[in-house]
Structure 1
Amino acid sequence: MPRRRRGGRVSALEGGREEEAPPAAGAVPSAQWASGRQPEAAAELILLRGIFEIGRDSCDVVLSERALRWQPIRPERLTGDSKYDFLHKEEFVELKDIFSVKLKRRYSIKQQGSGTLLGITLFICLKTEKNKLKDSTLDLINLSEDHCDIWFRQFKKILAGFSNRPKSLKILLNPQSHKKEATQVYYEKVEPLLKIAGIKTDVTITEYEGHALSLLKECELQGFDGVVCVGGDGSASEVAHALLLRAQKNAGLETDSILTPVGAQLPLGVIPAGSTNVLAHSLHGVSHVVTATLHIIMGHIQPVDVCTFSTIGKFLRFGFSAMFGFGGRALAVAENHRWMSPNQRMDFAIMKALAKLKPEECEISFLPFNSSQDLEERRAQGYPKSDCNDQWQMIQGQFLNVSIMAIPCQCSVAPRGLAPNTRLNNGSMALITARNTSRPEFIKHLKRYASIKNQFNFPFVDTYTVEEVKVCPKSNSSGHHPEEDHGPHETASGNCFPWNVDGDLMQVASEVHVRVHPRLINLYGRSMEEMNDSKVTCSCL
């Protein structure tokens, strides 16, 4: 239900009549606004005032610039009765939380044409527990056609004023995600809400890996306000990569070597329909289809940092996070056993990667994050920070796993995130290295992600906050043993090394250079990073 506030007395109006009611001199709002306006601020302009039945009460309803307020009409003889006042508190809903308005009608089998008018229905976006959003309705009952028409047109005018809300969306749906539930998720949970909001959609069901990439490179996007991906992390990463590649092409930049990429021109919505849904979880604080859909409908925009991955003289791809070593090998095993169910495949891949746990001899160079430098100035400089070679640091040795993450990477098995101290858009990445240790100790480290304890509190784990990273594996010291492999993905030929980039397998034979680019893409959502603001015990972060 909408929130309740205690309000002052509102006199009854004639039933079914609305009036243009300017505020009285010196009047103040009867409740503080969610945006923080204080009661002593100037009174808001009242747009309409009239009588509707809400619930079982006949209510005096006031539509102002920012909110719809109502209060049951009280008999004059009970005025001043404190108990009665408490039971009839003023209620309100803020206009920014309304995403659609419809005329409410009753239809009968024999009735032709429009049904009998009952009033107006408002569709509202409400916040619930654990960062979730839900849709709700509020019925304003009045049988007068003229009365409802005036209010309906005013609500439509107000909703049209929210220019940030999308009116047309390109939908890309991956029917193979997770348990092949993406199609059902979209048509049962997402599409009905988009229709209520009056958003036009153009749906493409992808048929093969890379279909979304090839489609977005060439298709006409001028008539769309945003692009929505329904699928898992791999699908979302592919669509983000495609939007950013298209932006470089439109800007006339060579994609073979991208040093200072331009931002994506359309925002991206991510509907979680995969197995881990790391991107959606990091963005919203929860992996919830209705929440993600309502963020899109409400036009909530969150800028997010993106990484570029390149090898010597060649750009590879855009992405949000990557794992090398154990994380890459586990994904390579999983890709080679796609005939298994998603949960079985991942469990099997982790167990097999742990059974073959061996370190990689690596040389890792990184540029520490300079938090005192203005990120906008750095972007405007037009050259990469790698030119400042005297700031680079290097570590080398044997590593079981290397993680490079520009987002927190929250998911069900890591509720605080694989990189819990990383933010979505502060221009930095988390570099997390796990040096060679025993298998039991490494397993303890992995299990710690599921708890609230500090998963980095191990002598073999080091964490750094960085802007750029270069990972150079020593191919002649690779821990791969071809005679132990059972599939083409588990170890690539030619001393290629498997990387896990946003859940996609990337095979690279040489050094990989990772740069973070601040706020390169806009995603539909609102940051839940304040959840991770608790102090950490790791002294290096």
Structure 2
Amino acid sequence: MNETKMQEPDDGCSKTVLLNTFVIKRKRCRVYLHRGTLIWETERPPYSKSARWTLPLTDVLSASYGNEWISSMNNIKEKEPPTTPSSPNVSSTSFVLHYASTGPKSVWRHHSVTMRHTDPRQIASWVKTIRNCLNGFTHRPRKVLVFVNPYGGKKKGLIIWEKKVQPLMVIAGIETKLIVTERAGHIRDTLLTISLDDIDSVICIGGDGTFAEVFNGLVLRAAKDQEIDADDPKAILPPPVLPVGVIPGGSTDTVAYSLHGTTDVQTAAIHIIFGDTAGLDLSSVHSNNSLLRLYASVVSYGYLGDVMLDSEKFRWMGPQRYDYSGFKKIIANKGYEGEIELLSDPCHPAASTKCMQNCTRCIQHMHKSIPDQEITRWLTVTGKFFMVNGANLSCACSRSPMGFSPHCHIGDGCVDVIVIRHTSFINNIKLLLRLSSKDKNLYDLPFVEVYRAREFTFKAAPTSNYSENGNSISMNSGLSVWNCDGEVIQVPNVKIRVHCQLLKVYTRRIQEPIKEPSCFCSS
């Protein structure tokens, strides 16, 4: 479901009341635990707001005895198997409270505070109580399968895991099983065959392509287990049981940016530890009654497809290969004839609200409170296109803060179809400038058309250099290819269909309300 599942303390924890005096940073402080909230304040005047801290247990990562914490961190530094908090330590006179807090630009940070007391029994009582409360958060993962792509982006996947993610997993007491990918398709093939019985969730460290391999493998595994033919374009694909965590480690990381509001690694890891989930739409790409791929962010024909195909020849350049190929293709300014048929939703993206935590529009569509046949109609769009895009997300990233469609919803069962007509070189430059803008979108450009659809088909204009059998396309054939979550699809004629909230992903989303123009379909 897209309604973000925020954890609440269980009844036992919410009724628990603890009060004691601890020494924190050489100051005596009164510490309270009441109704799922920790409060500590200095015991002596002068009192001020800065001398009082309030922390909901939902933002707590763990509580560990002082000597236990030091031992775990030493094991990580020496690259030995990390230990997680386990048995009570009746001799410790301090405990470390690990928590996270959010700051500017949606970034979360790990913090810790050490509380000391002369009586070890008081320390043990507090640690046991806090741990029991955290164990009551049943949505938090306990055992996770981690895939690391060591080749994505700047090839820092393993460093990200060892330096930034694994220490947080140890702090939270999460048991991890690590698999380092060796080839394209490794994740997908593994998830189709491995036993998932003792796994709570799957985490991937990499780019959008790595994440795509994870959910393609999980959905196909679920379809196989339930004997559903995924190649049938009309099939209702089953949702995977396991939620997925996305930790950015690629070139653009549009999925991580759209879900977390940032490509900060620590923020993504903390969201996973918290265990809050939201439902994410996935779209299937079919051709000739065959499932080519599922995607989560964007599928693009024309310019971005040409860039992806051309950039494959320059992988040695790293992420800069996209800039080089992009410059070449913007100069070439090729256009492609085609026809788009789409099942249109009346809520135009420009009139829609932004997708936030507990988004009203996504919740309505999750519960199917509005019958599809009453709000959709078929439209046909033909012409010569510079680019055709089907966006499941805003597709925002550090290079494009607003993305293709800033008001795209992650769980409303719709894809935003952004059509860029073939136009002049100058207009193409305007398009790229808009995409890099922090406050402007594409909606009002005269050569851009935007639709919101449940599904759409694309048919390329006939050409003698292409056969429907799916033969390879040359760059001079008069046809382009599809860029699908960073992977190339050679077949131009496709049917794309949205599967509403098919995947559960870890995220707390953006929580502050933003004033946006109202949309009649979400009121």
Structure 2 Cα separation of the partners of residues 448 and 224 of structure 1 = 43
Return the letter of the residue paired with 1:157.
N
The residue that corresponds to 1:428 in the other structure is 414
> How big is the shift at 1:406?
1.2
**Structure 1 residues 308, 281: closer, same or farther in 2, change over 3 A?**
same
**Structure 1 residues 146, 303: closer, same or farther in 2, change over 3 A?**
same
| RMSD of Structure 2 on Structure 1 (CA) | 3.1
> How big is the shift at 1:211?
0.6
TM-score scaled by structure 2? Answer: 0.83
1:303-339 residue CA offsets vs partner (Å, 9 max, x unmatched): 1111111113222111122000111011000112212
**Structure 1 residues 489, 525: closer, same or farther in 2, change over 3 A?**
farther
In the alignment, structure 1 residue 465 sits paired with structure 2 residue 452? yes
Mapping for residues 405-420 of structure 1, pairs under 5 Å: 405-420=391-406
Mapping for residues 23-34 of structure 1, pairs under 5 Å: none
Percent identity of paired positions between Structure 1 and Structure 2:
29
- Mark the runs of 5 or more structure 1 residues left unpaired by the alignment: 1-33, 37-43, 79-83, 109-113, 480-487
Question: Given the alignment, which residue of 99, 105, 109 partners 2:61?
Answer: 99
1:7-33 residue CA offsets vs partner (Å, 9 max, x unmatched): xxxxxxxxxxxxxxxxxxxxxxxxxxx
> How big is the shift at 1:454?
3.0
The residue that corresponds to 1:326 in the other structure is 303
TM-score scaled by structure 1? Answer: 0.80
Contact in 2 for aligned 1:305/1:517 (Cα 8 Å): yes
**Structure 1 residues 193, 85: closer, same or farther in 2, change over 3 A?**
closer
Tell me the secondary structure at the aligned position of residue 490 of structure 2.
strand
1:53-111 residue CA offsets vs partner (Å, 9 max, x unmatched): 1222212222223112223333xxx7xxxxx3447854322111111111113989xxx
Return the letter of the residue paired with 2:458.
V
Question: Given the alignment, which residue of 68, 71, 91 partners 2:38?
Answer: 68
The number of residues matched between the two structures is 470
Contact in 2 for aligned 1:361/1:478 (Cα 8 Å): no
> How big is the shift at 1:388?
10
Structure 1 Cα separation of the partners of residues 157 and 266 of structure 2 = 13
Mapping for residues 382-397 of structure 1, pairs under 5 Å: 391-397=377-383
> How big is the shift at 1:445?
0.9
> How big is the shift at 1:463?
0.7
Return the letter of the residue paired with 1:127.
T
**Relative contact order (alpha carbons < 8 A, sep ≥ 6): 1 or 2 greater?**
2
Contact in 1 for aligned 2:415/2:498 (Cα 8 Å): yes
Contact in 1 for aligned 2:230/2:237 (Cα 8 Å): no
Question: Given the alignment, which residue of 426, 436, 442 partners 1:455?
Answer: 442
Structure 1 Cα separation of the partners of residues 345 and 475 of structure 2 = 33
- Mark the runs of 5 or more structure 2 residues left unpaired by the alignment: 1-5, 9-13, 72-88, 348-360
Contact in 1 for aligned 2:20/2:31 (Cα 8 Å): yes
Contact in 1 for aligned 2:284/2:499 (Cα 8 Å): yes
Tell me the secondary structure at the aligned position of residue 117 of structure 1.
coil
The residue that corresponds to 2:24 in the other structure is 54
Q: Which has the larger radius of gyration?
A: 1
In the alignment, structure 1 residue 500 sits paired with structure 2 residue 483? yes
Tell me the secondary structure at the aligned position of residue 140 of structure 2.
coil
> How big is the shift at 1:528?
2.7
The residue that corresponds to 1:271 in the other structure is 247
Displacement over 6 Å in runs of 4+: 387-390, 492-496, 529-532
> How big is the shift at 1:379?
10
Structure 1 Cα separation of the partners of residues 23 and 376 of structure 2 = 72
Tell me the secondary structure at the aligned position of residue 242 of structure 1.
helix
1:137-176 residue CA offsets vs partner (Å, 9 max, x unmatched): 0111113221211111111111111111000000011110
**Structure 1 residues 531, 213: closer, same or farther in 2, change over 3 A?**
farther
Tell me the secondary structure at the aligned position of residue 508 of structure 1.
coil
Structure 2 Cα separation of the partners of residues 160 and 47 of structure 1 = 17
Structure 2 Cα separation of the partners of residues 35 and 310 of structure 1 = 38
Contact in 2 for aligned 1:424/1:527 (Cα 8 Å): no
Tell me the secondary structure at the aligned position of residue 328 of structure 2.
helix
Tell me the secondary structure at the aligned position of residue 315 of structure 2.
coil
> How big is the shift at 1:444?
1.1
Tell me the secondary structure at the aligned position of residue 336 of structure 1.
helix
The residue that corresponds to 2:257 in the other structure is 281
